[in-house]
Structure 1
Amino acid sequence: MLSRRALLKSGVAGVFAVSTSTAGLLTLSARTAPATSANKVATSATPGAAPLQQALDAISATAAAGVLAEVRHGRWTWRGSSGVARLGTTERVPVHSRFRAGSVTKSFVATVVLQLIGERRIGLHDSLDQWLPATTAADHRITVHHLLQHTSGIVNYTNTRAFRTLYGTVDGILGLRDRTWTPAELLAFTDGQPLLFEPATSWTYSNTNYILLALIIEKVTGRPYRTEVKRRILRPLGLHDTELPGASPTITGPHPHGYLPQEQNGTLLPVDITKLNPTVTGASGELVTTTTDLNRFYQALLTGRLLRPAQLAQMRTAWTTGRDYDYGLGLQTKLLADGTRLWGHEGDIFGYQTSCWTTEDGRRQLTVAATPWGTGDLDELFDTLVTTAFASS
């Protein structure tokens, strides 16, 4: 996945990856003061509401056109937003906005796979060629476990030269925004690419792994992975504002607009990328959702409502990645300075960035989504918000 720094320097956008960069995005020549809104959802006083709003305002002031978040601490919930839903207007970001969540999709896919493992319809250590013998990635050394944890060694298709030739500029992205991609076409970007390492000997983030996992779900159930996610997760949890849109390019309902920087006459200007056919991401990053739905999902997941104890334990067995998080099976995890263990996932897709974190007991949560735009370091500002949201109160 290309970093936001690469996006700034070359006009290339990051696609449905986990953010790892330390640079912000381009700024407009003029900015309005960030619009703010907050909604306390409880009858009792909400601890720390002011610092949370200040953290959101800092994000919209320097690193995003708009941002929204939901924080849950036990019995109380706080929702807030800052900035604008559309550049060039004063339209506030609704706290119940829908947005593209990028790689957060992977947690949903992993949950379905682990449910099927719990039902003994898939084995965690089944080989890739057992389920998908016709794919060029088929290899007896690669298992379902390796795909879930990004230890397969399979090349990330969004990092291949062929993919970047198409999506390496803003003009290229805009020209392909309406194209529908099939999983086979996405996998074809990795044709002829050797493994980066022997499976289970190292770790590298690869969207290709989750394209393959979705195909395994379809092979086992006879239904598309989107159908299984809806049947097994969205409906039981009442996640009515969450969808896997397939080829549908629009975000329905209230939503902030996402942007890419495009050079025009020597000046970098925002180009609206909200409308996008997300099949280019498929099962690795197509989710459209809300902060409330994501918090509800991760709370249910981590408190055992979606997986059997054995599979939840497998999901939370993490590989040390060398980044600022470690990786379980479709879950990221990290320790805060005070020793608090968090689980969740981050995600990027053109024009949007999301971060979701939940404590192991499911009682404390944060989901934040932003539309990157500005000179500030969005990753650092997200980290500040995380620290603020999980501070002892």
Structure 2
Amino acid sequence: MLARLVVEKVTDRSLGEEMQRLILGPLGLTGTVVPDTSTDVPEPHAHAYYRYEEDGQEKVVDVTRQNPSWISTGGDMISTTRDLATFISALVGGRLLLAELLAEMCTPEPKAGYGLGVFVQDVPGGGTVITHNGGITGHAGLMYSTPDGGKILTASLNYVDDAALSMGEAFQKTTQRLVAEIFGGGRAASAL
């Protein structure tokens, strides 16, 4: 939130306007928006769901349209898988940052594996990926790239979750297997 406030104070423009001017426009990311308080989701889109219990009965509600402003700059963007691929390719390819800044960004803190805005992960079976996934209730976006941008994986997911995040463990295991299969030379079965 502090970064958003600084950007808006220094530029006298909204974060969405600055994102459009500096990143979205130059990269041609026409399927990406900064919704602020709008609940609109650009068409076409998947639907998101939330599961809860009421009066002893399990219920599922469509939560596609939601106000993401509570996340602030922690992830209040909506994008397509094509735009995610373009973005990660431009990032690791040096089109968004100077080489020394990109190197610093992709140098993870040893214990957490987190750099400055991205995770740097070793892949079972060999290799490394640069990643930063995101999500909000019922939606998730995956974005992975080799450090040289030679191989990229993006995906958009919709799912039914609940307050206990009961899908979390299965989601993590499935994602790890997918990443190992794609980036680890097809060694997913032995990696898990």
After TM superposition, the score normalised by the length of structure 1 is 0.44
Indicate how the Cα distance of structure 1 residues 329 and 384 shifts in structure 2: closer, same or farther if over 3 A, else same. same
1:359 pairs with 2:168? no
Deviation, structure 1 residue 233: 0.7
Shift of 1:368: 1.8
Unaligned runs of 5+ in 2: 187-192
Query: Equivalent residue for 1:336?
Result: 123
Structure 1 residue 383 corresponds to structure 2 residue 176? yes
Partner of residue 237 from structure 1, selected from 15, 27, 36: 27
SS at match of 1:287: coil
The answer (yes or no) to whether the contact 1:295–1:367 under 8 Å persists in 2 is: yes
**Aligned twin of 1:281:** 71
Describe the SS at the equivalent of 2:31. coil
CA distance in 2, matches of 1:221, 1:321: 35
Instruction: State the 1:385 CA deviation.
Output: 1.4
Instruction: Find 1:260's aligned residue among 38, 46, 50.
Output: 50
Identity %: 34
Structure number with larger C-alpha Rg: 1
Residue 311 in structure 1 maps to residue 105 in structure 2 = no
Aligned counterparts of 1:351 and 1:282: Cα–Cα separation in 2: 18
Is the 8 Å Cα contact of residues 372 and 378 (structure 1) preserved in structure 2? no
Mapped to 2, the partners of 1:371 and 1:321 lie a distance apart of 31
Once residues 233 and 321 of structure 1 are traced to their aligned partners in structure 2, the CA distance between those partners, rounded to angstroms, is 31
* 1:31 corresponding residue in structure 2: none
Structure 2 counterpart SS, 1:262: strand
Aligned to 2:185: 392
Deviation at 1:344, TM superposition (A): 1.7
Structure 1 counterpart of 2:55, which letter?
N
Counting only pairs closer than 5 Å after superposition, residues 164-183 of structure 1 correspond to structure 2 as none
- How far does the alpha carbon of each residue in 1:235-264 deviate from its partner, in whole angstroms, 9 at most, with x for none? 111100001011110212111111111213
Q: Is the 8 A contact 2:123 2:184 kept in 1?
A: no
Task: After TM superposition, list the pairs within 5 Å mapping 1:1-393 onto structure 2.
Answer: 211-322=1-112, 326-373=113-160, 377-392=170-185
Q: Deviations over 1:79-137 (max 9, x none)?
A: xxxxxxxxxxxxxxxxxxxxxxxxxxxxxxxxxxxxxxxxxxxxxxxxxxxxxxxxxxx
Q: Separation in 1 of the partners of 2:116 and 2:18?
A: 18
Aligned-pair distance for 1:391? 4.1
How far residue 384 of structure 1 moved from its aligned partner, in angstroms, is 1.4
Q: Which runs of 4+ in 1 moved over 6 A?
A: none
Please list the CA deviations of residues 131-158 of structure 1 after superposition, one character each: whole Å capped at 9, or x if unmatched.
xxxxxxxxxxxxxxxxxxxxxxxxxxxx
Residues 185-244 of structure 1, C-alpha deviation per residue, up to 9 Å, x if partnerless? xxxxxxxxxxxxxxxxxxxxxxxxxx1111111222222222111111111111000010
Q: In structure 1, how many angstroms separate the alpha carbons of the residues matched to 2:106 and 2:179?
A: 20
The code of the aligned residue for 1:305 comes to R
RCO higher in structure (CA 8 A, sep ≥6): 1
What is the total number of aligned residue pairs between the two structures? 180
How many angstroms apart in 2 are the aligned matches of 1:313 and 1:350?
32
The answer for unaligned runs of 5 or more in structure 1 is 1-210
Counterpart code for 1:320: P
Question: Could you list the per-position Cα deviations for residues 252-302 of structure 1 after superposition, in whole angstroms to 9, with x for gaps in the alignment?
Answer: 211111111121331222111111111111211111111110011011011
Provide the aligned C-alpha RMSD in A.
1.7
* Amino acid in structure 2 at the alignment position of 1:274: T
- Residue 51 of structure 2 contacts residue 61 of structure 2 at CA under 8 Å; is this kept in 1? yes
Structure 1 distance, partners of 2:14, 2:81, is 25
